[in-house]
Amino acid sequence: MASPPPTPKQLQRRLGVLDSTAIGLGSMLGAGVFVVFSPAASLAGPLLTVAVAVAGLVAYCNAVASAQLASRYPSSGGTYVYGRRQLGEWPGFIAGWGFVTGKTASCAAMALTFGHYLAPGFATPVAVAAVVVLTGVNLLGITRTALLTRILLAVVLATLVFVAAASLIGPHPEGAPAALGGAFGAIPGGSTGNAWGVLPAAGLVFFAFAGYARIATLGEEVKDPATTIPRAILAALGGAFVIYLGLAALLQWHLPAGLLAGSSAPLLDAVTLSALQAGSPVVQAGSAAACLGALLALITGVGRTTMAMARERDLPAPLARVGGAHTVPYVAELTVAAAVIVLLLTTNVLTVVGFSSFGVLVYYAVANAAAFTLTGRRRLAPRWLNALGFAGCVVLALTLPPASVLGMAAVLIAGIAGRFLVLRRRKSHQTPA
């Protein structure tokens, strides 16, 4: 009598509310907060804070849907798993493929940003080294990942407090608004943005909000997921929203509109143009730490989603292997690291923020659709909120810059076509002669 096939090795539940929240907040307060305000300001102009609020509203809808789904399906893979369970294989695949491809590009962007802050003349080699080192940290186990994320998060929060203090103290350069209320009204000096730019700006800002997805993708490693995941997701999102909205208002108050819209390092400029300019190295160090924290969490989340897709044969089966002394998906982790390094060596990935935003918005559109179909619902996620989240994701995705929409749409279509051909081949092999 044949023995039953071995049960796939499971990950261990080691994360509580504090560690889970730190991973989500550490992901959101990554490189995005140090770079996203300038391109968003160039689109939205004086309505930057409105764009942040719109992005926060859509992120809240998505977070509620993710929390509801993650408490129902506490396994690694996030919306890829939810989409498969609630909507079918194809929606699940689209969500997973959008997440894996978009966030792999984001990993490269975070690593290269780290390289530019730490050693501008050697950005690519430093970025590759960061990917190698952080992949090694992930291979040591999820508890090490959570510990390092908390350390980096503390450094980033201290840096942001310093930037806020510098913006408040001034002196404020000529052309900046005379009062904080100016962040919500007309800004002297002009801006390249306008009201029509609020939606594409919100789509870019959403890139910085998307980190709470990491909590859901780690669902198989969270203690008491039905309680821990919703609390951690909403706590991380709430903290990030307050910080982003406050920083957007302070930057518009402190910096001339043209400088903010054209800056490649707006938080560094805010300190350089203040009485605390001697602390500029602090901001550079904090920016580097932010990139490391975001990159660490990104590699972890992409690896887990890749593993989940491989378990369902939507990606090659070896990617699902879990092993080692710390029970980690080592094949998926190493594969993601290799893909990121290839991007670093062959592509300028600083332009992929829009690509990542498009892919992640598609991912959350599936999450909201999946949450809409849940039965036995809790008050946490009423259906109208899921519908609002779905519509918000679609609108923000389609109003992103055209290059981002077309580029990521091509990647999604290629993935769908590839899966279709693989399924067709499998079916032909299973058909008796």
**pLDDT 10s digits, 107-139:** 887 888 788 777 777 888 999 999 998 888 777
Q: Which residue has the higher pLDDT, 90 or 143?
A: 90
pLDDT digits (tens, 9 = 90+) for 248-298: 998 888 888 778 887 767 888 888 888 888 888 888 888 887 787 778 777
pLDDT digits (tens, 9 = 90+) for 60-79: 898 888 878 877 776 656 77
User: Which residue type occupies 167?
Assistant: S
Q: Which residue has the higher pLDDT, 184 or 172?
A: 172
Does position 380 have pLDDT exceeding 80, yes or no? no
Domain annotation covers residue 91: yes
Domain annotation covers residue 11: no
Residue-averaged pLDDT of the chain: 78
Q: Which residue has the higher pLDDT, 337 or 17?
A: 337
Given pLDDT bands bounded at 50, 70 and 90, which one contains residue 50? very high
Domain annotation covers residue 141: yes
**Phi, psi dihedral angles at 17 (to 5 degrees):** -65, -45
pLDDT score of 149: 66
Q: Which domain does 114 fall in, by range?
A: 17-421
pLDDT score of 142: 53
Does position 180 have pLDDT exceeding 50, yes or no? no
- Return the number of other C-beta atoms located less than 10 Å from residue 13's C-beta: 17
What does each C-alpha distance from 43 to 128, 173, 263 come to in angstroms?
32, 22, 13
Q: Which residue has the higher pLDDT, 164 or 427?
A: 164
Does position 409 have pLDDT exceeding 80, yes or no? yes
Does position 357 have pLDDT exceeding 80, yes or no? yes
Domain annotation covers residue 267: yes
**For the chain, what is the domain count?**
1
Given pLDDT bands bounded at 50, 70 and 90, which one contains residue 157? confident
> pTM for this structure?
0.77
Given pLDDT bands bounded at 50, 70 and 90, which one contains residue 30? low
The token pair that represents 395 in the structure block: 């609108």
Q: How many percent of the chain have pLDDT more than 70?
A: 77
Highest mean pLDDT of the ranges 125-134, 165-174, 317-326:
125-134
pLDDT score of 81: 80
Section 95-112 average pLDDT: 84
Domain annotation covers residue 58: yes
What does each C-alpha distance from 204 to 40, 41, 143, 283, 406 come to in angstroms?
6, 10, 31, 22, 15
Contact 228, 23 (CB under 8 A): no
Strand partners, 394: none
The token pair that represents 241 in the structure block: 């929203």
Q: Which of 198-207, 272-281, 384-393, 412-421 has the lowest mean pLDDT?
A: 272-281
pLDDT score of 35: 76
Q: Which residue has the higher pLDDT, 392 or 6?
A: 392
pLDDT score of 190: 38
| Separation of alpha carbons 423 and 96, rounded Å | 17
Q: How many percent of the chain have pLDDT more than 90?
A: 12
Domain annotation covers residue 432: no
Task: Say what the alpha-carbon torsion angle 17, 22, 24, 29 is, to the nearest 10 degrees.
Answer: 160
User: Which residue type occupies 273?
Assistant: L
pLDDT score of 297: 73
Nearest to 298, CA basis, from 91, 116, 152, 122: 152
| Contacts with 157 (C-beta within 8 Å, 6 or more apart), sequence order | 29
Does position 222 have pLDDT exceeding 80, yes or no? no
Domain annotation covers residue 431: no
pLDDT score of 1: 44
Given pLDDT bands bounded at 50, 70 and 90, which one contains residue 188? very low
Nearest to 81, CA basis, from 329, 314, 299, 360: 314
Given pLDDT bands bounded at 50, 70 and 90, which one contains residue 362? very high
Q: Which of 38-42, 172-176, 193-197, 237-241 has the lowest mean pLDDT?
A: 172-176
CATH number at residue 369: 1.20.1740.10
